Structure formats: C-alpha cells, structure tokens
Amino acid sequence: MYQYLFFDLDGTLTDSEEGITKSVQAALKRFGIEVKDPHELVPFIGPPLTSSFMGYYGFTEEQAQEAVAAFRSRYNTTGLFENRPYPGIENVLASLKKEGKKLLTASSKPEPLVHRILEHFGLAPYFDLMAGAGEDERKAEKACVIENAIERYGIPGEARKEIVMIGDRRHDVEGAHRCGIDCLGVRYGFANPGELEKAGADYIVSTVKEMETFLLTH
C-alpha cells in the first residue's frame, strides 16, 4: 500500500482559480495585454509561471521573469487568499492521517506560499512536510520538487514503490514518472479533458471522495 502521499496544492487541495487567474491578468496588463475573462488563464494553474508566460505569450525569459514579479506583487498579498479548499478535503486529510499515512506536499508554488496557504486554511497540521519551489522558481519543475521532498523526508530508495503523487495536471504525472513513482490523477481540478489519460496517469479519480477511498485502500 502507499504510505507516502505527495499532494499537489492548486487544483488538488484547493480551488485557486480566482487568485491565480486575476494575478496573471494583472501581470499581462503590465505588458499591454488585455485579457477580459480571467477564466481564459486557467492553463497557468499548475506549471511553473515562467514557462507558462514564455509558452503561452511568447515572452523572452527576461520578460517572463518581469511578469512573474508583477504576478507576485498582487498574488502574494491578495491572490493567495482568493482561494478555498475543495469541499471535504480536510476530512480526507484527517482520515488519511488517522490511518498512519505520511502526508507531504509537492507543489511548484514557492514554498513559503505553500506554508501560508495551508496555515491560513488550517490544513498545515496534517502534513509531515510542506515542500514547494524556491522563490526564484529554480527547481520548480515537478520532478525536482518531488526529489527534493523525498530527500528532505529521508525516504529510502527501496520505499519509492510506497509513494504516490496526487495531482490534477500532466506535469504531476510526468514529474512523478521521472522520479520512478506512481501518480493518481484527479479530474476535479484544472486538467483539460483527456489530459491525465494522455499523460499516462497510473490511476484517475473524479471526486474528492473517490480520492479518499482510493488512498485508504491502495
């Protein structure tokens, strides 16, 4: 059975669409790009921001870094609280903890923000380690975050078969597989239809309740 449960944050533990998309919208406006409907910016949720600005809007690396700074000027004060845990998430974490599972986060969000968000919503006490990316987004790729969490928590190599990554985007699946661990995809987050299947998720669930059942029985 899986003993070490690595959770993504955005789209897995919390519905962060409003705060992230409005902050991306504000950052793009600094460059003269008007996006009237923030929902169009949902693809920014999950992957590292620098690569998203470069990939979706053709920014140079320097421009992308400027955009990330503009994003954070809004997000770090307002956007991170335009957010809410998915209904039932706290009960799931409590149940898993009661069963002796080790709960960790593996988020591409800067680690201090991971701590602030989970503490704000009262979820921090359930986690044995809250791992995220560095403030400058170096090592923000999901595989790097996962490897960092494994090393910091001291999980031995032979125990990787007992680790599962839980996330809502292809980056979670790809990062998990690069680290030699399984991935449980959750459809209730921000993945496009078929995204998790195409990425090769080992298992997929559609609801928070299904996720709980899976993690308690596998």
Those residues whose C-beta lies under 8 Å from the C-beta of residue 20, and which sit 6 or more positions away, are 10, 41, 44, 45, 75, 79
Those residues whose C-beta lies under 8 Å from the C-beta of residue 89, and which sit 6 or more positions away, are 13, 14, 123, 208
| Catalytic residue ranges | 8
Please choose, from the candidates 93, 73, 64, 91, the residue with its C-alpha nearest in 3D space to the C-alpha of residue 22.
73
Note the pLDDT tens digit of each residue in 77-125.
Answer: 999 999 999 999 999 999 999 999 999 999 999 999 999 999 999 999 9
Q: What is the pTM of this model?
A: 0.92
Give the chain's domains with CATH numbers: 4-15+85-217 (3.40.50.1000), 17-81 (1.10.150.240)
Note the pLDDT tens digit of each residue in 148-179.
Answer: 999 999 999 999 999 999 999 999 999 999 99
Helices (H) and strands (E) counted in the chain, each on its own, are 9, 8
